[in-house]
Amino acid sequence: MMNYWWPGITRDIERYVDGCDMYQRMKNRMEVPVGKLKLSEVLENLWAHLIVEFITKLLLVAGKDTILLVYNRLSKMIYFVVTIEETSTERLTRLFKDNI
């Protein structure tokens, strides 16, 4: 077996290894592992997971200035209901029941 040495051998080897694509992909990382991936929950009930939002301060058209947005996460359907900003909870319940 033959040994090789030249001035700056350590620096040259470091440069070669840092530029080696195979080494960069295979080397052990010093970072802490991120952790296991968590699976998304499986949605089963059609009306169990809803996102409800209000879009307010719109221009007044036909006496309405607010949009009630209801997003069903399981079916991926979005429902839009026009209303007014000062709607009572009873009125919102009726709008939801009649339109969704």
Instruction: Quote the percentage of the chain above a pLDDT of 90.
Output: 7
Q: Is 11 exposed, middle or buried (0-12, 13-18, 19+ CB in 10 A)?
A: exposed
CA 10 – CA 28 distance, rounded (Å): 20
SS3 76: coil
The overall average pLDDT reported for the chain is 84
pLDDT score recorded for residue 33: 67
The domain segmentation of the chain, as residue ranges, is 50-99
pLDDT at 32 over 80: no
Mean pLDDT for the stretch of residues 69-90: 88
